[in-house]
Structures are given as C-alpha cells and as structure tokens.
Structure 1
Amino acid sequence: MILDFLFPKYCLECKKPGKYICDLCISKVTPCGTCGKVGDNYSIFKYEGVIRKAIISLKYKFAYDLGDELTSRVLRVIKTNPKFNDPKLVIVPIPLYKTRENWRGFNQSGLIGEKLAKAMNWNYIPDLLIRNKNTAPQVGLKGSIRRSNLSNVFAVCSPYIQYTKYDILVFDDVYTTGSTINEAKKVLKEARFKKVYSLTIAR
C-alpha cells in the first residue's frame, strides 16, 4: 500500500490510475481467435495495445508488478479451457542465457510461468530446458535468420527425463514467427517427450 502511494500505477495505454492494465484498455485488445490455437500452439491476445506495452515494460523497464497483472489476464482465459485443467501438466519457460538473465535479473517467462503453475496446480520445472549458447536478440530478424540463430541452442536437462510421460507446456511471452517455441518443442520431442504444447501471452 505504501509503495502504491509513493509510486502510483497508471494504465500503460490510457494513463488511468489504479493498475497497469485497465479493464477498458484490455477490452480493446483483440483476443487471438484464429491465432488462439494454431496446431498445438496457443496464444491469448494479439500483440497490440496495452498488452504489447505491458510485455515491453516488463522485459525492458523492469516493472516486476506487471508479472502479476499479466498472469491474471492469462488465467482468466485458460481457466475456461479444459485442455489446461490437467494437474499432471508440466510448464516449462523458454530459458534465457545465463548472462542475459543475470543482467536483467529475472526471466520474464519464468516469472509468469511460475505464477501460472501455482494458480493452476501444474508442475513447474524452470530448468528442464537449458540454453546452451547466447544468441543475438530475435527482434527484427527475418524468419530464416531466426531459425538458424536458434539451431542447437536448447537442450534437455537429463534428470528430468522421468517426466517424458507428462504433457509439457512450453511457455513464452510472445509468439512471433514461432522459431523459438518450435525449436524448444523439437528438442523436447527428440528427447521422447510425447505431448508438447506451447502457450504464449501474445502473438
């Protein structure tokens, strides 16, 4: 409460006081209808408006409180989808390379993924996937370059092979071309994880 008084929150889109993502502005963000489910990839919103600003602010302006608000918005949608109501589901965030995570201080996908797991009673294994090498940021790269940039970048941490019979939900903030998500899923399937899905906040 004291922090809210000293550092009041304002909607990132309309500047209304109270919270970063106000109800009016989130209502203007297009839900992912056709992009909500493409194959085994699920996205909640289109990458626009207050959702876009929220994701950028969390990642690059270190607005940690946005993790709670984004989690809440995702939960409102996935709780109505029977596919996600599986207590044996394992959520795995897309990992950052250690130097990048240390610089930022957190992994935004892990931050929200852990909150989702707690709310949905899922298993949360943040280090099931590890990132072998530091890569150039994907932002602004063309699809073919994105794919080559991510070649052999992920590996499965061997102690977790026991979870191959569980459904795996790879989680990330934004699905752009799908290169990152699809590379992670490919590595998991090659390690004999049978059912691998993905969930992103936006696309």
Structure 2
Amino acid sequence: MDLINFLFPKECLECKDTGRYICSNCVQKVRVGGLVEIGNLKVYSVWKYEGVIRKAIISLKYKFATEIAEELTVNISNYLPLKSKSYILAPIPMHWHKKNIRGFNQTEIIGEKLAKIMDWKYIPNLLLKKSKSLPQVGLKSEVRRENLSGVFEINSEIKISKTSKILLFDDVLTTGSTIVEATKVLKSSGFNNIIGLTIAR
C-alpha cells in the first residue's frame, strides 16, 4: 500500500467500506438497466441510475477521478452482454468550449478505456458538436429535443464503412433526446447499424 492510500484509504462511494470506490456488494444491488427502444433506436443501459453507480457517475461528471473511472469501466465490461469485437464505439461529443472549461469529457475517457478492454475500435470524433446547447438537466422532454436540434454533425474526415456496427456511447439515458439526435445525423450520412449504449438510465 502506498502512502497516499495509507493516509487516505479508498472508500466505497455508497457503503464506505474501504478498499475500492465501487465495491462488489454495492454494484450487485444496482438493478440492470436493460434494453429499451426509443423511436427506431435500441439502447442498452448497463444499470439503473441509482446507488453506487449514480454516485460514481456524478463524481466523474463534475470532478473527474481517474481511479473511479478505472473501476467503473471494469465493472461495465463485466456486466456488459455485448461481447462481439466487431463494434465501433463512438462517444457522444461535448462542445469544445464546454470541454475546455471542464477540462475533460468523461464519456470520451470511459469510452476509450471500455473499447480497449472489449477490443472494440474507438473513434472519439466520429460526431462533432458544432454548437452549444443548454444543459439538459431539468428540461422537459420536448424542450430537450428542441435544445439539441441540429447541434451534431458528422466528421467528414473520418472514413469508415457505412455498414460498420456503431455503438453510440453516453453516460446516462434520460429521455433519449441526445442519443436520438446523434443517431439521426449518423443515419443521414448512411450509417444504419447503430445501437445506443449508456452506463445507466
């Protein structure tokens, strides 16, 4: 054990047991998110947005911590039923201005780690967010859709087969407005084999 862990031992974000930020007992208590269909898009969420998973996502979203990201990614890979190696993982992008202010996009970082574990191809900039939008938290579903209309565009510099299996990756699924809008852009560019993947919903 190094000095930092000795002086400041890791505690589970939920039960406060020492050793890990996300302990196995607390993960097992979180319900499976499962598969839902929004419009014509199938979206798989690993968990419900509750318990230790909710606390881990909040910790990452507003104060990125590398070790929490590592533990969360390993847990995602253990609970994920998508085992095929033929997927391309593309994270939902963040506008460059917001990313510069925050200093990171947690979806990109976890997506890259997950793709490496699962042996998937990772393309972080398949989609670009060309304009800023209001924060989605607290907005009604109709307002969310209007808020995101036209904010994404395909990156014309990325050349991949239109038959590629795309996993659109985001952290939390609420109304589905974000992932559906991103899917529309991909489909308008000729991609039709798309599945949504989120950590929780």
TM-score band w.r.t. shorter chain: over 0.9
TM-score by length of 2: 0.93
Please identify runs of 4+ aligned residues in structure 1 that moved more than 4 A.
none
Q: How does 1:138-177 map onto structure 2 within 5 Å?
A: 138-177=136-175
Q: How does 1:69-108 map onto structure 2 within 5 Å?
A: 69-78=71-80, 81=81, 84-108=82-106
Distance 1:134 1:51 in 2: 28
Q: State the match for 2:109 in structure 1.
A: 111
- Structure 1's unaligned 5+ residue stretches are none
RMSD of aligned Cα (Å): 1.3
Q: State the match for 2:21 in structure 1.
A: 20
TM-score by length of 1: 0.92
Distance 1:20 1:99 in 2: 30
Amino acid at match of 2:49: Y
In the alignment, does 2:118 pair up with 1:120? yes
SS at match of 1:38: strand
Distance 1:3 1:123 in 2: 35
- Structure 2's unaligned 5+ residue stretches are none
Amino acid at match of 1:171: F
Deviates more, 1:125-134 or 1:162-171: 162-171
In the alignment, does 2:73 pair up with 1:68? no
1:101-139 residue CA offsets vs partner (Å, 9 max, x unmatched): 112221111111101111111110000000011111101
SS at match of 2:89: strand
How far off its partner does 1:63 sit?
2.0
SS at match of 1:162: coil
How far off its partner does 1:6 sit?
4.2
Distance 1:7 1:105 in 2: 25
How far off its partner does 1:52 sit?
0.5
1:156-194 residue CA offsets vs partner (Å, 9 max, x unmatched): 101224331210000001000000011111110111012
Distance 1:87 1:24 in 2: 29
Relative to structure 1, the CA distance from residue 2 to residue 128 in structure 2 (aligned partners, 3 Å threshold; closer, same or farther) is farther
Amino acid at match of 2:168: V
SS at match of 1:27: helix
Q: State the match for 1:54 in structure 2.
A: 56
The percent identity for this pair of structures is: 53
